[in-house]
Amino acid sequence: MTQTWNSDRRRTAIGRTALSVPARQALADGQLAPDRTVLDYGCGRGDDVRALQRLDCRVVGWDPYYRSGTKLEPSSVVLLTYVLNVIEDQAERRQILLRAWELATTVLIVSARLTWEKSKVRGESFNDGLLTSRQTFQHLFGASELRSYVEQVTGGRVVSAAPGIVYAFKDDKARLSYLARRIVPDAEWLASEDTASAIASLVVYVELRGRPPKIEEMPRATAELLAHLKPNELRRLVRDSADAQKIADSAKRSTLNTLLYLAVELFNGRGPFSSLPVSVQVDVRAFFTSYKEACQRADRLLLKLRDDGYVRGAMNASRAGKLTPTALYVHRRAVDSMPTVLRLYEHCASIAAGRPAAWTVAKLKHQGRAVSWLNYPSFDTEPHPRIESSYMVDLQTLETSHTSYANSTNRPLLHRKHEFLAPEDPDVERYRRLTASEAKAGLYEHPHLIGTENGWEAELIRCGRQLRGHRLIRRTMG
Ligand SMILES: C[S@@+](CC[C@H](N)C(=O)[O-])C[C@H]1O[C@@H](n2cnc3c(N)ncnc32)[C@H](O)[C@@H]1O
């Protein structure tokens, strides 16, 4: 088989000492659950296969060069990890993707190297990619190109799990439960050892979700302990012990979460009511008059995303985030405090292009529609954290771009950190005090100078100040 190829593909398979990023993502997203069979198609040297087997996954690997003896059989999950980008023939690339799709019964997980790695790949132009000096081929994908390519070839509904990793679902139920996991995390259940602790955990659940659960939503141990109580008794117990105000607040939040979920679902492709995860079905019944009404409201929410005035108004009203003339900047911890239409904005962008694994602040533009995820690894520890990377998706063109500041000597940095957080965040007070003393010392008199490391340092010197942790002190000589 190798002789018919125009590149030396087997040389693209590297030995791995740790699980690949796509396999790790799939694991974290619950896609490699023990009840699913997994095929690693184009597994190379098989390091992912071995690592996943050690994690008790039911996985086999196949590779035309390294493991061609494995019998190819349909599997719930097919992993196609960094295979498409090494195939130089476009017709064959498509065929391999289709073959992988045919073999997947629940979800196909495709990953590819991205254009942002361009500087790492050198070679001569060949077909739609590069042929390196080692005779290996690389077609680097744009993040949205990968998603639309997989969608177009497979005809399945595709979600970006992270940049360069997409999930193409064959099974609507699996897709909708994945979306629910991303958008409306299940309320936590406390462990129950006896009927009293099971009732206590039921009360906490109701206070957090804003409605009572169905028995099938409970963890098995809790369900077994509560199954002997009649529904009326359970209702009375909850009514007597739960905090009514907490339930009302949570019901409001769950209503908005359900709307957000249904709007994202519309953006990604709506399925029938019966395909929704049980918890979302129960939310719809508890908080809306009908599924139809819930969908209509969710559709209106999605429409509002196109309305500049509405989006701008939501940004003005947001409890969290710093509004500048071009965008709203919100810390990762505070994104759920934004108005629902803005949460939807950020979710749609992440479905299209994938949120990067590491990010600290989301930037939502209000003219045009673009979201950037900015990474400030030292946000919590440095008074003025410096940016490390940014990843942007334009929702109108679906173009993505990635900027790394790792080698930059004069990086942009942040001021007034409290503005990125929700007011109740425990760090807000400390950050606010620092901002106040910096303003008092005159450090914000020349805003155009302080946006980068060098300018900020120069202003600190001019004002005779220095920072010690989150405190501003007089500068000492020497
Ligand atoms: C970059 S490696 C990735 C290997 C492995 N998935 C990993 O991430 O470690 C690309 C792999 O694709 C395999 N491959 C090349 N052409 C293929 C084809 N037509 N069908 C399936 N796999 C193929 C190669 O043998 C090689 O092992």
Is the same domain home to 6 and 113? yes
Separation of CA 131 and ligand 1 centre (Å): 16
- Whether 331 maps to a domain, the answer reads yes
- Whether 176 maps to a domain, the answer reads no
First to last CA, the chain: 69
What was the pLDDT predicted at 1? 43
User: Which parts of 5-110 fold into alpha helices (H)?
Assistant: 21-28, 47-54, 90-103
Per cent of the chain over pLDDT 70 is 99
- Whether 470 maps to a domain, the answer reads yes
Separation of CA 10 and ligand 1 centre (Å): 7
Separation of CA 82 and ligand 1 centre (Å): 7
Is the same domain home to 13 and 108? yes
Atom of ligand 1 minimally distant from the CA of 92: 19
Q: How far is residue 213's CA from residue 218's CA, in Å, rounded to a whole number?
A: 7
- Whether 51 maps to a domain, the answer reads yes
- Residue span of the structural domain in which 461 resides: 424-474
Q: How far is residue 293's CA from residue 299's CA, in Å, rounded to a whole number?
A: 10
User: Which parts of 404-473 fold into alpha helices (H)?
Assistant: 428-440, 453-462
Q: How far is CA 273 from CA 106, 185, 251, 276, 290, in A?
A: 19, 19, 21, 6, 11
Atom of ligand 1 minimally distant from the CA of 44: 27
Q: How far is residue 113's CA from residue 94's CA, in Å, rounded to a whole number?
A: 16
Is the same domain home to 75 and 141? yes
Separation of CA 81 and ligand 1 centre (Å): 7
* Residue 76 phi, psi dihedral angles, 5° rounding: -60, -45
- Whether 178 maps to a domain, the answer reads no
Separation of CA 406 and ligand 1 centre (Å): 30
Query: Residue written as tokens 């405090």?
Result: 337
- Which residue among 14, 40, 63, 113 has the greatest number of ligand 1 atoms within 8 angstroms of its CB, and so is best to mutate? 63
Q: Which residues line ligand 1 (CB under 6 A)?
A: 9-10, 12-13, 16, 20, 41-44, 48, 63-65, 81-83, 86-87, 96
- Whether 177 maps to a domain, the answer reads no
Nearest CA to ligand 1 atom 15: 9
Burial class (CB in 10 A: 0-12, 13-18, 19+), 194: exposed
Q: How far is residue 283's CA from residue 273's CA, in Å, rounded to a whole number?
A: 12
What's the average model confidence in pLDDT over 184-201?
Answer: 87
Is the same domain home to 367 and 444? no
What's the average model confidence in pLDDT over 372-377?
Answer: 98
Stated pTM of the model = 0.92
Q: Is residue 478 predicted with pLDDT exceeding 70?
A: no
* The last residue of a domain, from among 273, 304, 335: 304
DSSP secondary-structure letter at 419? G
Is the same domain home to 213 and 346? no
Separation of CA 60 and ligand 1 centre (Å): 14
Q: Is residue 3 predicted with pLDDT exceeding 60?
A: no
Q: Is residue 2 predicted with pLDDT exceeding 50?
A: no
What was the pLDDT predicted at 133? 85
What's the average model confidence in pLDDT over 226-245?
Answer: 91
* The last residue of a domain, from among 142, 170, 198: 170
Separation of CA 352 and ligand 1 centre (Å): 25
Nearest CA to ligand 1 atom 4: 44
Half-sphere exposure (CA, 13 Å, Cβ side) for 386? Answer: 16
Is the same domain home to 32 and 148? yes
Is the same domain home to 299 and 364? no
* The last residue of a domain, from among 394, 417, 440: 417
Is the same domain home to 274 and 355? no
Q: How far is residue 412's CA from residue 404's CA, in Å, rounded to a whole number?
A: 12
- Whether 175 maps to a domain, the answer reads no
Q: Is residue 158 predicted with pLDDT exceeding 70?
A: yes
Separation of CA 85 and ligand 1 centre (Å): 9
Is the same domain home to 320 and 294? no
Q: Could you report the per-residue pLDDT of 440-477, keeping only the tens digit for each?
A: 999 999 999 999 999 999 999 999 999 999 999 999 86
Is the same domain home to 229 and 299? yes
What's the average model confidence in pLDDT over 293-299?
Answer: 96
Nearest CA to ligand 1 atom 13: 42
Separation of CA 45 and ligand 1 centre (Å): 9
- Whether 199 maps to a domain, the answer reads yes
Is the same domain home to 40 and 127? yes
Nearest CA to ligand 1 atom 27: 44
- Which residue among 10, 40, 79, 86 has the greatest number of ligand 1 atoms within 8 angstroms of its CB, and so is best to mutate? 86
Domain count, the chain: 4
Is the same domain home to 33 and 166? yes
pLDDT band at 134 (very low <50, low <70, confident <90, very high): confident
CATH at 133: 3.40.50.150
